Structure 1
Amino acid sequence: MKKILTALIVSSLSGVALANSCDNAGFDNASRGNERLRGDIKALSEQYVEACSWDYDMPREKVCSLFTGKLKQLNTINDAPLAKVLSQAEMATDAWYAVHENCADKGLKGNADSAFEAYEESFDAYNNLIKEIDTRYNQSCRQQIEENISKYCK
């Protein structure tokens, strides 16, 4: 699971950045912003994988405790860590659009096109991140955890 989420998001973030100037410094800032966001996404992915992984070859009462803890862990991840990454991804998408506009205003078509392509990649990555988290973790994983709580916490 970890490798799938990390590969999906990280590979699609080549254009994510936190800069808006249409020059080498702006595109360098974009690369650094991209790296920071990749690290945050990787850390978030690892937290979800941890919350959604378990081995419950143990007494029933410990299995109940395991899954109630996993549900709390998942809820905690969905609070601040997820909000931080989504906020950064949204800002990065907005920043690339600003780079595109800045380049277009200066008549730098090649740079404007590159920045717009990066904007599209960033926007797609942002949407894919939301879908992946919602589908894999907040639906599938949460459902499994809740089913196991119902099963083992009687």
Structure 2
Amino acid sequence: MKVRADVAELLKAGKPESHIARELGVDRGTVRRARKALDLPAPQRGKRSMYPSLADVVRGNSEQLDDGHVRWTGYRDAHSNTPLVLYRGQRIPAPRAAFQLHYRREPVGKPLPACGMHGCIAGEHLADRPLREANARVDALYAAIFGEAS
């Protein structure tokens, strides 16, 4: 099948089939057949994310505070009030996403703010179970060496 160059160009640019058909005044079937002839993947159904990456979603739905803390300003679960990152069909708790982005690994247990600010999602302020346990050991050693803090 011979594919029109203008249709091929727009398909390769990732433009939706319906937009190409409307823009060029061709049948959607023509665009669909061209996509198949070019061996391009089928278009994704549903609403597209306005953010290209998980980091962009977190950044776009949070507010950096002057003191280094980060407050979630995006979507929250209606029942639990949990801050949720909605990305590529997933619902990820915002602290988990921020932890993953900062430490480049999955948290063990629930990531919680270790900074003292309730709800802070700054990656460097979050600690999972191993980090909390390590911090507790360091605190115990400090107390053993220097005595309890006043």
Using the size of structure 1 for normalisation, the TM-score is 0.28
- Structure with the greater alpha carbon radius of gyration: 2
Considering fraction of residues, name the structure with more helix: 1
Considering fraction of residues, name the structure with more strand: 2
Using the size of structure 2 for normalisation, the TM-score is 0.28
